Structure 1
Amino acid sequence: MIQLKSISREGIPLALQKAERYRLLNEPDLAESICKDILAIDPDNQQAVVTLLLSITDQFGEYASTNLHKARELLQLIDNEYDRHYYSGIICEREGLANLKQGRPASYGAVYEWLTEAMGFFEQAEEIRPAGNDDSILRWNTCARLIMQYQLKPAYEQYGELPLE
């Protein structure tokens, strides 16, 4: 059996930079691996937790159900209440976008639900945001624009009343 090697504590800052670079290069699986190496020796590293969460959400659409669960589990490791709300919104927004990119109009009701759930989390983050940090507002506006652009509606409005039986 192969044993994973541990990185050094001194190497964490450079490893975090590499993880960010791999995300920017659209190599989220490599960024995910690096973050797991960091968290193996520094489980409370908030930057590694957030980068891992974002790396996982970068992969939504490929293994959505597995990745969605993994991303939501990471929220428990985030210490800051604002960040928990904000990244909860990111997870929902990205799941909605993954559904939207599949291009199936039948899934537009689900896209609407994901985006409006994201907007709810962004509103919670907005209420407690640090001064000068408008990230939650920017993300809320992005979700709102997507809903308007694609004329998204809840599934029950899209297809009429759903039967009770």
Structure 2
Amino acid sequence: MKYELKHISTAGIAEAVSKAELYRCLNEPEEAESICRDILAIDPRHQLALRLLGLALTDQFNGSGSDRYLEAEKTFQQLTDRYERLYYAGILYERRGKAQLRAGQPPHMLLPLFEEALRAFGEAEKLRAPGNDDAILRWNRCVRLLQTPSYVWEQEGAPLEAQDAPPTYK
């Protein structure tokens, strides 16, 4: 049996966006993702649907190789507003790092992800509208995570920069 997707109406986009937001709140990111794809089939540059799709994809991160990181990154890169591209890039790095942390990856291996998140949030902060403190709130969450005493963010015996440096040959 072959089934085909049906298209939603243009008039139904606003209600579909509301449903996608609701499904994300209900922790049902697959449903939110599906709705966003229906919206984007009608309006491929719909900014809210792109944001929600990217977030729904990151909601599904579990720290494994099957995470759809590149798909989420490509989705966020389609945002037309520079602030939003930076802000959601920060969320992408932060959520990837948190998922890998929950999956048991050593914290010192994940530090570069959180540093990239901080960089993106810091750049977004410079472009934010007055009263929009979202980038600051995300920055602070990352910093608090990095200050958690139960995580060892640097490998013992060597600073992180030395571990990542290419070997020197004499």
TM-score by length of 1: 0.89
Alignment coverage as a number of residue pairs: 162
Return 5+ residue gaps in structure 2 as ranges.
none
CA positional deviation for 1:152: 1.9
**Seq. identity, %:** 44
Contact 1:96 1:110 in 2 (8 A): no
Return 5+ residue gaps in structure 1 as ranges.
none
CA positional deviation for 1:161: 4.2
CA positional deviation for 1:43: 1.0
Aligned equivalents of 2:147 and 2:167: distance in 1?
A: 29
The AA in structure 2 aligned to 1:71 is A
Larger Rg: 2
1:109 aligned partner: 108
Aligned equivalents of 1:110 and 1:22: distance in 2?
A: 33
Contact 1:64 1:95 in 2 (8 A): no
Q: Does 1:164 align with 2:159?
A: no
TM-score by length of 2: 0.87
Contact 2:50 2:75 in 1 (8 A): yes
Could you give the per-residue CA deviations for residues 15-37 of structure 1, whole angstroms, max 9, x where no partner exists? 11111111111110110000000
The 4+ residue runs of structure 1 with deviation greater than 6 A are: none
1:49 aligned partner: 50
Aligned equivalents of 2:93 and 2:75: distance in 1?
A: 14
2:30 aligned partner: 29
Higher helix share: 1
